[in-house]
C-alpha cells in the first residue's frame, strides 16, 4: 500500500500544480498580472519526519514520501507594454519592475499595490482601476480631475489638466523594500506586509497611453500544463495499478 500513498500524494500535488498554471493562463490578458510559480518539493517518509525511523538505514522509508506542492512564488518580471493611445492608460517603465501604483483597499485607510494601469475616470472625476478602486496621490487621497477635459500625465507621474489650470497632482508610486513581502490580494493586486519606500526619480517613469500586459507567457504555460497533466494522469494510473495488484493478492489469499 506504500506505493498507493506515494502515487496519491503525487496526484494531489500535480492537481494543485495544474490549478496554478491554469490560473496563469486564465490571466494572460489581465493587465499587470504577475504569474505564479508552483514549487514541488520531495518529502521524507512520514516515519522519518516523525523521528520514528532514522534516514539512510536502507529501509523502505528511504524511498521517500513522494512530492508535495510546498509553495507558490510570484514572478515579478514585468510584462510587455502596448501603446493604446488612451489618456487614462498608464504604465511604469522603471528599471526593475519594483515600482507600483497605489490604490485604495477594502478597509478604510488600506492601500494596495498594482502594476495594472488601465484606469478610467468616473462621473465624479475620480481616477479608478477597472474594479472601481480609487487611484491614490502622494497625499494619500484619491486622484480627482475634471471629467469634462482630458488629462495629461507627465513622465514623473504628475497628473494635470492644462484646460483647467492649477497645479498638478503627483501619483503615489511606491516600492516594497522586499518583493517577498508582497501578498497577492487579487489577480493584479498586492498587499505589502513589510515596509514601502517612495519611488525615486529614476523609477518615477510613467508612460501615458501605454498599458502593461500580464507577465504570463501562454506558450510556456501551455507546455507546463501538458507536462503537469501527464504527470497527474501517470500517478492516477499507478494508483489503479496498485489497487488491481492488491485485489489480485487478496483474491489469491482467499482462494482455498
Average pLDDT over residues 229-249: 75
| Grid coordinates given for 11 | 496526484
139 contacts 168 by C-beta, under 8 angstroms:
no
φ, ψ for residue 189, nearest 5 deg: -120, 145
pLDDT single digits (tens) 3-28: 666 777 778 788 889 999 999 999 99
DSSP tag of 255: -
Q: Which of 55-69, 129-143, 157-171 has the highest mean pLDDT?
A: 129-143
pLDDT single digits (tens) 96-114: 899 999 999 998 889 999 9
Neighbour-count burial of 63, counting CB atoms closer than 10 A to its CB (0-12 exposed, 13-18 middle, 19+ buried): exposed
> Do the bridges between strand 36-42 and strand 67-74 make them parallel or antiparallel, or are there none, so unpaired?
antiparallel
pLDDT for position 57: 53
What are the angstrom distances between the C-alpha of 191 and each of 11, 91, 231? 32, 19, 34
- For the cut 60, the answer to whether the pLDDT of residue 53 exceeds it is no
With CA atoms as reference, report the closest residue to 115 among 137, 96, 142, 97.
Answer: 97
pLDDT for position 69: 74
62 contacts 43 by C-beta, under 8 angstroms:
no
177 contacts 195 by C-beta, under 8 angstroms:
yes
Q: List the Cα angle 94/162/144 in 5-degree steps.
A: 65
Our measurement of the distance from residue 191's CA atom to the centroid of its chain's CA atoms, rounded to an integer in Å, reads 12
As a residue count, the chain comes to: 256
DSSP structure string for 23-66: HHHHTTTSTT---EEEEEEE---HHHHHTSS-TTSSSGGGG---
- For the cut 90, the answer to whether the pLDDT of residue 52 exceeds it is no
> Which percentage of the chain shows pLDDT scores above 70?
82
When pLDDT is cut at 50, 70 and 90, the band that residue 209 belongs to is very high
Average pLDDT over residues 122-143: 96
- For the cut 90, the answer to whether the pLDDT of residue 71 exceeds it is no
pLDDT for position 68: 65
- For the cut 90, the answer to whether the pLDDT of residue 221 exceeds it is yes
Average pLDDT over residues 124-143: 96
Amino acid at each position: 500500500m506504500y506505493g498507493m500513498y506515494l502515487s496519491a500524494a503525487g496526484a494531489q500535488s500535480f492537481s494543485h500544480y495544474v490549478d496554478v498554471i491554469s490560473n496563469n493562463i486564465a490571466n494572460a490578458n489581465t493587465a499587470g498580472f504577475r504569474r505564479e510559480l508552483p514549487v514541488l518539493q520531495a518529502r521524507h517518509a512520514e516515519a522519518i519526519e516523525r523521528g520514528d525511523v532514522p534516514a539512510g538505514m536502507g529501509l523502505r522509508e528511504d524511498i521517500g514520501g513522494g512530492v508535495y506542492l510546498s509553495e507558490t512564488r510570484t514572478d515579478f518580471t514585468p510584462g510587455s507594454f502596448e501603446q493604446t493611445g488612451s489618456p487614462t492608460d498608464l504604465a511604469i517603465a522603471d528599471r526593475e519592475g519594483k515600482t507600483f501604483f497605489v490604490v485604495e483597499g477594502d478597509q478604510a485607510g488600506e492601500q494596495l499595490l498594482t502594476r495594472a494601469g488601465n484606469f478610467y475616470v468616473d462621473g465624479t472625476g475620480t481616477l479608478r482601476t477597472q474594479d472601481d478602486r480609487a487611484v491614490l496621490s502622494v497625499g494619500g487621497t484619491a486622484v480627482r480631475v475634471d471629467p469634462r477635459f482630458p488629462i495629461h500625465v507627465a513622465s514623473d507621474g504628475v497628473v494635470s489638466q492644462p484646460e483647467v489650470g492649477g497645479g498638478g497632482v503627483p501619483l503615489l508610486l511606491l516600492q516594497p523594500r522586499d518583493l517577498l513581502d508582497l501578498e497577492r490580494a487579487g489577480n493584479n493586486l498586492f498587499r505589502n506586509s513589510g515596509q514601502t519606500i517612495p519611488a525615486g526619480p529614476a523609477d518615477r517613469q510613467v508612460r501615458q497611453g501605454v498599458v502593461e500586459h500580464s507577465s504570463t507567457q501562454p506558450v510556456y504555460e501551455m507546455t507546463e500544463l501538458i507536462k503537469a497533466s501527464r504527470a497527474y494522469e501517470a500517478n492516477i494510473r499507478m494508483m489503479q495499478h496498485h489497487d488491481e495488484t492488491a485485489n489480485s493478492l487478496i483474491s489469491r489469499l482467499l482462494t482455498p
